[in-house]
């Protein structure tokens, strides 16, 4: 995995991982989350059965995004 240039000035980030993603591994998503824990508020959301773009789970995903954004601005 390449080096990430993340610092505390980056915006809050929600990272979505679909368990059937054929392009990005779970390890990459976890690695990104750990790097961001160095100062960036973030959350890793796992979508069971979701692919790289979890279209079938979008309603649930939209709710998770809204909850994440609300928690971060309060």
Asked if the model's pLDDT at residue 71 lies above 60, the reply is yes
Of 9, 18, 16, 25, the residue nearest 64 (C-alpha): 16
- The total of structural domains in the chain comes to 1
29 in any annotated domain: yes
67 in any annotated domain: yes
* Owning domain of residue 38: 13-73
Task: Specify the DSSP class assigned to residue 22.
Answer: S
Confirm whether pTM is higher than 0.85: no
1 in any annotated domain: no
pLDDT tens, position by position, 18-38: 999 999 999 988 888 876 666
Sign of CA pseudo-dihedral 73, 53, 15, 50: positive
Percent of the chain with pLDDT over 70: 85
Half-sphere exposure of 3 (CA within 13 A, CB side): 2
Asked if the model's pLDDT at residue 9 lies above 90, the reply is no
24 in any annotated domain: yes
């Amino acid at each position: 995995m390449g080096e990430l240039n993340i610092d505390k000035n980056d915006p809050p980030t929600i990272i979505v991982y679909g368990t059937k993603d054929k392009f990005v591994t779970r390890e990459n998503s976890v690695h990104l989350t750990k790097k961001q824990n160095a100062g960036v508020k973030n959350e890793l959301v796992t979508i069971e059965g979701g692919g790289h773009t979890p279209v079938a789970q979008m309603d649930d995903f939209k709710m998770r995004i809204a909850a994440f954004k609300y928690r971060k601005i309060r």
